[in-house]
């Protein structure tokens, strides 16, 4: 899927799997029809830069912004995630904090979640919405109680370089993290402990991780231009690396049905994989 003029930084499927959204360093967001594999409407324009300290909400059908930008972070916003019920939005920032936002009123909730010692790179809600996970350039992962807005337990340590991506398994039992140390780690959420050994195979930093809807597979994207699939039960690679991008893979996402995997890359292209 081509149309962006600069590297693609993020991809995400709509809940029904009919649309794919992509964000890019060209300052735009694009929507794609998965069935026809064509762009839907024009690029969504409204951001002043490829990375800013603001968040915008968009009406998918109207292809227009909703309300005013969400302002509160003091540095680049690097990651956003909707809660499972859509009532909350979480954001992570280079200001080392996370914020929670009410999507209806578009105002911040409580105070920033602080605890990381470096940039926050990734945020993810647990499937029940009770926990928020955050990954950081401080090499740690933290868990947060969404209701109480406090840290849960101690930081999860084990990566030797920046944590680039965090994601909960569909049942909420596991957390996966990708890192610039070229590995993926699996964590037991309840025990807050690492499971098994690091998943190794990428030759460069891991940029993005995503669970399949049934939780059996994990996909990882990397600066080595490839995507890899992993069997969660055996913690082993499935098949060969998926090759096709000409530059770093920045984002991977499974379709809600699990039949497709989307990848965004610094080569400005989005690819769909069966």
Give per-residue pLDDT as tens, 83-103: 999 999 999 998 889 999 999
Task: Locate all alpha helices (DSSP H) within 22-160, ordered by sequence.
Answer: none
pLDDT > 70: percent of the chain: 99
Domain of 177? Answer: 76-273
State the pLDDT at residue 259: 96
Q: What is the CATH number of the domain that holds 227?
A: 2.130.10.10
66 assigned to some structural domain: no
28 assigned to some structural domain: no
Residue 53: CA atoms inside 13 Å, Cβ hemisphere, count? Answer: 10
248 assigned to some structural domain: yes
252 assigned to some structural domain: yes
State the pLDDT at residue 49: 62
Nearest to 163, CA basis, from 124, 214, 130, 192: 124
186 assigned to some structural domain: yes
Q: How far is CA 192 from CA 90, 158, 179, 195, in A?
A: 21, 12, 18, 9
State the pLDDT at residue 6: 95
pLDDT 10s digits, 153-201: 999 999 999 999 999 999 999 999 999 999 999 999 999 999 999 999 9
State the pLDDT at residue 204: 98
Separation of alpha carbons 30 and 41, rounded Å = 8
- 93 within 8 A of 73, measured Cβ to Cβ: yes
Q: How many domains does the chain have?
A: 1
156 assigned to some structural domain: yes
State the pLDDT at residue 50: 57
For the chain, the average pLDDT equals 95
State the pLDDT at residue 46: 77
State the pLDDT at residue 68: 87
pLDDT 10s digits, 105-142: 999 999 999 988 999 999 999 999 999 999 999 999 99
């Amino acid at each position: 899927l081509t149309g962006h003029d600069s590297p693609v930084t993020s991809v995400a499927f709509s809940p029904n799997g009919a649309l794919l959204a992509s964000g890019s360093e060209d300052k735009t967001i694009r929507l794609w029809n998965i069935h026809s594999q064509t762009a839907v409407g024009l690029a969504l324009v409204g951001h002043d830069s490829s990375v800013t300290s603001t968040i915008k909400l968009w009406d998918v059908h109207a292809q227009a912004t909703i309300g005013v930008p969400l302002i509160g972070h003091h540095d680049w916003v690097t990651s956003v995630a909707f809660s499972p019920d859509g009532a909350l939005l979480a954001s992570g920032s280079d200001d080392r904090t996370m914020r929670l936002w009410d999507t209806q009123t578009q105002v911040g909730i409580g105070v920033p979640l602080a605890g990381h010692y470096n940039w926050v790179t990734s945020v993810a809600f647990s499937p029940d919405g009770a926990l928020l996970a955050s990954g950081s350039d401080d090499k740690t992962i933290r868990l947060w109680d969404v209701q109480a807005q406090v840290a849960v337990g101690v930081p999860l340590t084990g990566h030797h370089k920046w944590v680039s991506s965090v994601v909960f398994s569909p049942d909420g039992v596991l957390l996966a993290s990708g890192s610039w140390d070229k590995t993926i780690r699996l964590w037991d959420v309840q025990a807050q402990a690492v499971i098994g050994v690091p998943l190794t195979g990428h030759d460069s930093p891991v940029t993005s991780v995503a669970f399949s809807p049934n939780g059996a597979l994990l996909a990882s994207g990397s600066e080595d231009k490839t995507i890899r699939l992993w069997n969660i039960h055996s913690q082993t690679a499935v098949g060969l690396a998926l090759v096709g991008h000409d530059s770093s893979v920045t984002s991977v996402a499974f379709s809600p049905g699990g039949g497709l995997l989307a990848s965004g890359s610094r080569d400005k292209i989005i690819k769909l994989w069966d």
